[in-house]
Amino acid sequence: MLGGSFNPAHRGHRHISLLALKLLKLDEIWWLVSPQNPLKPVRGMAPFAERMAAARLAAGHPRIKITDLEARLGSRFTAHTLAALRRRFPRTRFVWMMGADNLRQIPHWESWTRIFALAPIAVFDRPAYSLGALGGVAAHRFAHARIGSSRARRLAEMPPPAWVFFATRLDPLSATSIRERRRRSVFARRAALRGRTIEN
């Protein structure tokens, strides 16, 4: 499971998902598109239906499933989502996936230690965040549960808490950079239009 706002979904999400399929020997990846991340502002968030549609386009793989489960469950927090999914799918072995930026900030999440108790976790390198994440509160708190990447193919079968960190080369694209490029493009087009209006 890869949760997030997907605002917008992009090739970086697809890249990490394809890596996870291979490194963790998973059957499927579920993108859990969040109706509204409680730690992110509402302003600048694209409509939920738009983000779902963009995620379907970005995924482009039969084993990457786009889901509105959080919206249907009425869940705003990862711990609540995982608990509900375990009840709903008792025979399914879930792995929670996230970037190093989220490992660093997870102590700010609702019931964050419960997340480690509900599912094994795979953390993927994000160079600007990884050093702080691996030296952070969550990594220290659950240092005893960290496994080596050579054992990652069995992560889904391990009882939580269990987590692995992959120091793999990832796609540098991020939703933040995409939004910033779009914003600059809009401003540039507006400036160009104003220029043409003045000339005319």
Is the pTM higher than 0.85? Answer: no
Longest dimension (CA), the chain: 69
* 17 neighbors 31 (Cβ within 8 angstroms): yes
CA nearest to 11, candidates 62, 47, 55: 55
Contacts of 199 (CB under 8 A, 6+ apart): none
The secondary structure of the chain as a DSSP string is -EEE--TT--HHHHHHHHHHHHHTT-S-EEEEE-S--TTS-STTPPPHHHHHHHHHHHH-STTEEEE-HHHHHT--SHHHHHHHHHHH-TT----EEEEHHHHHHGGGSTTHHHHHHHS-EEEE--HHHHHHHHTSHHHHHTGGGEE-GGGGGGGGGSPSS-EEEE--------HHHHHHHHHHHHHHHHHHHHHHHHH-
pLDDT tens-place values along the chain, 200 residues long: 999 999 999 998 999 999 999 999 999 999 999 998 887 888 889 999 999 999 999 999 999 999 999 999 999 899 999 999 999 999 999 999 999 999 999 999 999 999 999 999 999 998 888 989 999 999 999 999 999 999 999 999 999 999 999 997 655 555 555 446 556 655 555 555 556 555 55
Return the closest-CA partner of residue 54 out of 69, 70, 33, 37.
33
* Tokens found for residue 171: 């796609």
d(CA 72, CA 38): 17
Give the homologous superfamily in CATH for domain 2-199. HUPs (3.40.50.620)
Residue with tokens 């375990």: 86
